[in-house]
Amino acid sequence: MIDCFVIGHNELDINRQKQLIRLSYGESSTTYKERHKFNLAQVEYQKKLYTPVQFFNEFHNEKKDYTKSLDVFNESFSLAVAYLGTYLRRKGLTIDYINYFNGEKEALALRLKNNEIRTIAITTTYYTFPYPIQEILKYIRKYSKNVKIIVGGPYIAASVRAMKEDEIQSFLKSLGADVYIYNAEGERALYETVCAIKNQSGLDSIANIYYDTGDKYKFTSSVREDNDLDKNFIDWQLFKERIGTNVNLRTSISCPYACSFCTFPQYAGRYRTTSLEIVERELDLLKSIPTVTGFCIIDDAINISADRFKQFLRMLIKKNYGFKWSSFLRCQHIDREIVELMKESGCQVVFCGIESGSQRILDNMNKNAKVEEYKKSLAILNEYGILSIASIIVGFPGETHETFYETYNFVEETMPTFFQERLWAYDHQAAIHSKKTEYELKGSNYDWSHATMNSETALHLGNKMFLEIKNSIHVTEYPIIFHLLNRGLSANEVKEFLGNYNDFLKRSIE
């Protein structure tokens, strides 16, 4: 009997996503236009939508004679599955998992038919609507009415946090699970819940859960988990049979900065780092798995402390792992020495949260960055051939046509290899909301206006960047870059592919 079966991501079909967003927000909303024009870009060909990945598989894969279809979620192992699975195993429970629901759900059905599973934990890392979770629950219930279903993770935390009590009840009911874990982490709550179900004891004493009492979901109590990162490292050996080529790696939680558009640190808790000895131990474990060739560090920024970052890079070089790696980077805080070490240690591509090329907007964002520092850093990355992805936000409070063109010209001048422009999303939980009166903020999400711009205009300006920028290649789903490189495409081939995709997309919308 498996005590807990952990389920990774369920990616909804792109056409279904489009339909659901149209139903929820309406076709004329900026949300619909933002999500379905360039930023979650798909090209329409013969009445079918293609994401860059699907486009690669359909029109490039065969030509280049790659055997396996590319799929971003299938190819990088889910960290939520790895952390939860390791935690439960260390505490003596039995586990199984599927990393990617879409591709592996038959294995779950088989186990359910044989009545081999006691509880199921559903992760919700990337969801912004309930449908993928409901789809998983429906699937499970088709094969078992009795198995206990536990749902937790970012989607549950973010949704419950934003709701009033009566809304929470109907939300939890509409998903239909037995227990919900309401916490930024949740390993301990999951372990205790599985044990209680196994031992048929009550759930009342377990912190951070909502459980089904028949007529309503009862909340127990709220306690911060703050799991010790050094004790809670991943035992990659547990997953070695199905791990694939690329893994995500975490070396810290949260972020010490306070950008005014971002809510991440507020909910992820205090900034904590894993010791480098433990990171090294995880890398040693990964090195012993022959399929693994690369990793992507998902910390908000790996270089928050320059000293720790240098020690990390020197460790990679000394151990000579040979992994290709990528990460998010605060690129204003790098210098030539660091870039040399990054190159030598196998760094291929970095994602830089540039946000804007206007100092005024960076200051409004409380970004703690100087345009001049960005310029120097991007030049060094280019010089050493480390690919960069510059992420840009268009329309932040204070944005005018003038500040927008500062950003536009910044991208043309600094030539990051790739860029991604996103419409600012007005999140009422973010710090900027406290300046609502000063900036005359109205609306929410992607449908907003402020004193100097509205979301329609910002969307139009963002599109302009996509259509006109010459010195940097637009990218919508940046993980495709890591995966194509990991498949052995050269940097030039990746650039060529994305350039072709963009040309196709431009033609289809002109």
Burial 371-395 (b: 16+ CB within 10 A, else e): beebebbbebbbeeebbbbbbbbbb
Out of 3, 178, 187, 421, which residue is the one contacting ligand B12 (CB under 6 A)? 187
Kindly compute the dihedral angle of the four CA atoms of residues 361, 362, 365, 368, in this order, to the nearest 10 degrees: -160
CB nearer to ligand B12: give 60 or 148: 148
According to CB under 6 A, which residues from 340 to 359 bind ligand SF4?
353
The two tokens of residue 250 are: 């975490």
Q: What would the x/- binding string for ligand B12 be over residues 16 to 45, using CB under 6 A?
A: ------------------------x-----
CB of 464 to ligand SF4, least distance (A): 24
Residue 499 token pair: 């350039």
Nearest to ligand SF4 of 64, 370 (CB atom): 370
If the CB atoms of residues 26 and 256 are measured against ligand SF4, the closer one turns out to be: 256
Q: Which amino acid is at 185?
A: E
User: Would you say 43 or 255 has its CB closer to ligand B12?
Assistant: 255
Rounded to the nearest 5°, which phi and psi values hold at 289? -105, 110
Q: Which residues contact 407 (CB under 8 A, 6 or more apart)?
A: 356, 357, 358, 361, 392, 394
118 close to 197: Cβ distance less than 8 angstroms: yes
Asked if 494 is part of the footprint of ligand B12 (rule: CB under 6 A), the reply reads: no
- Least distance (Å) from ligand SF4 to the CB of residue 81? 23
Residue length, the chain? 510
Please choose, from the candidates 227, 114, 215, the residue with its C-alpha nearest in 3D space to the C-alpha of residue 173.
Answer: 215
Does residue 440 come out as left (phi exceeding 0), alpha (psi in the -120 to 50 range) or beta? left
Candidates 255, 296, 425, 480: give the one binding ligand SF4 (CB under 6 A): 255
Each residue 399-438 as x (binds ligand SF4 by CB under 6 A) or -, in order, gives ----------------------------------------
Q: What is the Cα–Cα distance from 424 to 103, expressed in whole angstroms?
A: 33
CB of 308 to ligand B12, least distance (A): 18
Q: Of these, 22, 90, 250, 464, which contacts ligand B12 (CB under 6 A)?
A: 250
Q: Which does 72 bind (CB under 5 to 8 A by kind): ligand B12, ligand SF4, none?
A: ligand B12
Q: Does 259 bind ligand SF4 (CB under 6 A)?
A: yes
* List 4, 41, 43, 262, residue binding ligand SF4 (CB under 6 A): 262
Q: For ligand SF4, which residue of 15, 48, 204, 264 counts as binding (CB under 6 A)?
A: 264
Binding mask 287-326 for ligand SF4 (x = CB under 6 A): -------------x--------------------------
DSSP string, 101-165: HHHHHHHHHHHHHTT-EEEEEE--TT-SSSHHHHHHHHHHHHH-SSSEEEE-SHHHHHHHHTS-H
Q: HSE on the CB side for 495, CA within 13 Å?
A: 15
Interaction pattern, residues 444-483, with ligand B12; x per rule: CB under 6 A: -----------------------------------x----
Site string for ligand B12, 140-159 (x = CB under 6 A): ----------xxxxxx--x-
Considering only the stretches 186-194, 310-318, 381-389, 445-453, report the one whose residues sit in contact with ligand B12 under the rule CB under 6 A.
186-194
Judge residue 450's burial from the number of C-beta atoms within 10 Å of its C-beta, 0-12 exposed, 13-18 middle, 19 or more buried.
buried
- Sort strands 473-474 and 418-423 into parallel, antiparallel or unpaired: parallel
Residue 257's binding partner among ligand SF4, ligand B12, none (Cβ under 5 to 8 angstroms by kind) is ligand SF4
Q: Binders of ligand B12 among 327-386, rule CB under 6 A?
A: none
Name the strand (E) or helix (H) holding 19.
helix 14-25
Bridge-based pairing state of the strands 347-355 and 387-394? parallel
User: Which residues make beta-bridge pairs with 209?
Assistant: 181
Rg (CA), the chain: 23
Task: Closer to ligand B12 by CB, 51 or 377: give it.
Answer: 51
| Cβ-based nearer residue to ligand B12, 40 or 306 | 40
* Terminal Cα distance for the chain, rounded: 57
| Phi and psi torsions of 328, nearest 5° | -80, 145
Q: Is 265 in the site for ligand SF4 (CB under 6 A)?
A: yes
Residues 263-322 that bind ligand B12 (CB under 6 A): 264, 298
Cα–Cα dist 263/235, whole Å: 30
Other beta carbons within 10 Å of 2: 17
Other C-beta atoms closer than 10 Å to the C-beta of 504 total 16
Closer to ligand SF4 by Cβ: residue 128 or 213: 128
With CB under 6 A as the contact rule, which of the stretches 38-46, 213-221, 262-270, 392-400 interacts with ligand SF4? Answer: 262-270
Using CB under 6 A as the binding rule, the residues of this chain from 220 to 239 that contact ligand SF4 are none
Q: Binder to ligand SF4 among 25, 191, 257, 404 (CB under 6 A)?
A: 257
Residue 140 binds: one of ligand SF4, ligand B12, none (C-beta under 5 to 8 A by kind): none
In SS3 terms, 67-104 reads as CCCCCHHHHEECHHHHHHHHHHHHCCCCEEEEEEHHHH
Residue numbers of the site for ligand B12 (CB under 6 A)?
Answer: 11, 40, 72-73, 76, 79-80, 83-84, 121-128, 150-155, 158, 181, 185-187, 190, 248, 250, 264, 298, 479
Residues at the site binding ligand SF4, with contacts judged by CB under 6 A: 255, 257-259, 262, 264-265, 300, 353
